[in-house]
Amino acid sequence: MRKLLVATHNQGKVREYRALLAGLPLEVTYLAAEGIAAEAAETGATFAENAISKARFYADLSGLWTWADDSGLAVEALGGGPGVFSARYAGPDASDADRYRKLLDALAAVPWAERSARFCCTVALARPAAEGGLVETADGACEGVIAFGPAGEHGFGYDPVFYVPAYGMTMAQLAAEVKNAISHRAVAAAAAVPLLHRWLSGS
């Protein structure tokens, strides 16, 4: 069975993608499992640029088909920020809680009607240069509102403060199977899966 490298050190993402890709004839592996400690530079101005850069870097390093994503939070009241800097919003060694608390502080005076936000994700699929170096991308988004405080024990990142109006709760309060159906990563993954089917079929 062909391996697909998910280019992340984030175990939350690994679990989500394994669930999302469970129906494909692929062995889903990840950086630590392959003994890869190298960090790809994330210098792009967009989620797509970062995802493509990571996918190419790890595909060539590992010799494996590689699935990389770049995702983050775009808050309307912050002009689309923190955007590509979502993971580094509160500094390089900050925890998830540090990041969402900084976000809540930045929005402290912003009323509910102006707290709209979206999670964005671009998935990039890359073949190593030895196999032609093909790269294809797929995008996904999930609309929501930044809550006034955290709620929920599930998920990771900004999930505790990302309120999903259609469900009346934060992303961190949703059951995993619900989140895996509506999240920005789920939407991008659903768009990427047909690309993998095509690759696997050799077309």
Catalytic hit among 60, 69, 70, 93: 70
| CA proximity to 119, closest of 148, 90, 143, 155 | 143
CB 92 within 8 A of CB 144: no
Q: What are the phi and psi torsion angles at 114 (to 5°)?
A: -115, 20
CB 170 within 8 A of CB 160: yes
Q: Catalytic annotation on 60?
A: no
Question: C-alpha distances in angstroms, 155 versus 65, 76, 102, 128, 188?
Answer: 27, 22, 18, 31, 17
Residues forming a β-bridge with 184: none
Angle between helix axes 11-20 and 184-201 (nearest 10 degrees) is 60
CA geometry: angle 150, 12, 95, nearest 5 deg: 50
Query: What residues are labeled active site?
Result: 70
